[in-house]
Amino acid sequence: MNSTKVKPRESKAINSNNNSKYCISCEFTGIIHNPHFEQLGTEPLAPCPKCVKTKCKCGGISPYYYNENGKILQCSCRETALKIQKIKSIYAKSGIDKKYRWKFINNYEVINKATEQAKNTAYNIIREFPNVKKGLFLWGNPGTGKTLLSSIILTELITRHGIDGKYIKISRTFFNRIKSTFNESSPTYGEADLIEREFAEVDLLVIDDFGVQRDSEWELETLYNLVDARYEALKFTIFTSNVNPSQSMKDKSHGRILSRIKEMCSIIELSGADYRDRL
C-alpha cells in the first residue's frame, strides 16, 4: 500500500467490526430505513451513514469497487449494499399489503394496555430473533392493528436478517392459489404441492385472518398440514385472527389446528379501540 494512504492506528480500530457493533443508528445491521422515502422519492433502505457510508470509497455505486493507485479494490460498503439488494428482492415477493409495507416497530402506536403488551412482545421477538422459541397468535376484534403489527414484525426480521419471509391472507392468497392449480387452463396447473411446500418451508410466515376459512374437510386438512409442517421444522410463524382461541378449542374442526398453534405460539389478545383511523 502507498505510504501516504496508511492510516493511523486509531482509525484502524474504528474500522474494525468489533467497533461497528456499537453503532446506535443502525443497531448492528449496517442499514437504516427512511420512513419518509415515498415523499422524498428516495429508497426505503440505505447504508448507515455512521458506520458504513463514512468508510465508503466507491461513492455507493454498483458494483461497489474503487480504484486505489491502479488497484481495483472491493469497497467496505459492498456487503451492506448487496444485503440491501437481497432484502428488496425478498420484500418485493413477500406479499405484504401495500398499505403496510416498510413500516417498522416505531410506526406502531400504543393506544391502550393491549397494544402496549403486543408491542413489547413484538419488540422482544425482533431483538431476540433467531433465538425465539415461539411464534405469535394475535387475536381480537377487527381494526386493532393485527395486520399492521404482523407486517411490522415480518418487515423488521427480513430487514435485519436478510431472510426470506412471506405474508398470506388465508383465503385470498393461500387457498385460492392452491385451488387455481386444480384448473387445467391455469399456468400453475398441477403445482399444488409446490405452493404448499413454498409456504411450509419459508423462514418466516404470517398467516393473516386465521379462522375465516370455510371449514371444508379439504381446507382444514390443507391448513393443518401447513401448520404442522412449520411446527415440525421449527419455523417462525405469526397468525392473526378474529377468533378467540380458547373458545374455538372446543370447536372440533378448529381444535386440532389450534392445539398445534398453542404449542408453537405465544397468544396475545389485541382487542379494544379501532386502530384503523390512525394509519
**Which of 31, 45, 46, 56 touches Zn ion (CB under 5 A)?**
56
For the chain, the first-to-last Cα distance in angstroms comes to 54
**Does 62 contact Zn ion by CB under 5 A?**
no
**Does 25 contact Zn ion by CB under 5 A?**
yes
Task: Name the minimum Å distance from CB 162 to Zn ion.
Answer: 16
The DSSP H or E segment spanning 44 is none
Range in contact with Zn ion (rule: CB under 5 A) among 40-48, 154-162, 244-252, 254-262: 40-48
**Does 26 contact Zn ion by CB under 5 A?**
yes
**Residue 8: cis peptide before it, omega within 30 degrees of 0:** no
The smaller minimum CB distance to Zn ion, of residues 86 and 260, is found at 86
Q: Which position has the grid cell 412449520?
A: 230
Closest by Cα among 174, 1, 143, 146 to 71: 1
| 77-106 binders of Zn ion (CB under 5 A) | 77
Query: Is residue 279 within 8 Å of 243, Cβ to Cβ?
Result: no
Q: How far is CA 129 from the centre of its chain?
A: 11
**Which of 31, 46, 48, 125 touches Zn ion (CB under 5 A)?**
48
The smaller minimum CB distance to Zn ion, of residues 82 and 132, is found at 82
What is the total count of residues that contact Zn ion (CB under 5 A)?
A: 10
**Does 257 contact Zn ion by CB under 5 A?**
no
Give the CA distances from residue 160 to residues 26, 47, 125, 259, in Å, rounded to whole numbers and listed in that order: 10, 12, 12, 31
**Does 258 contact Zn ion by CB under 5 A?**
no
Q: Please give the sequence-ordered ranges of beta strands (E in DSSP) within the chain, or none if there are none.
A: 31-33, 45-47, 65-68, 71-74, 135-139, 165-169, 204-210, 236-241, 265-269
**Does 75 contact Zn ion by CB under 5 A?**
yes
**Does 58 contact Zn ion by CB under 5 A?**
yes
The smaller minimum CB distance to Zn ion, of residues 156 and 219, is found at 156
* Binding residues for Zn ion (CB under 5 A): 23, 25-26, 48, 50-51, 56, 58, 75, 77
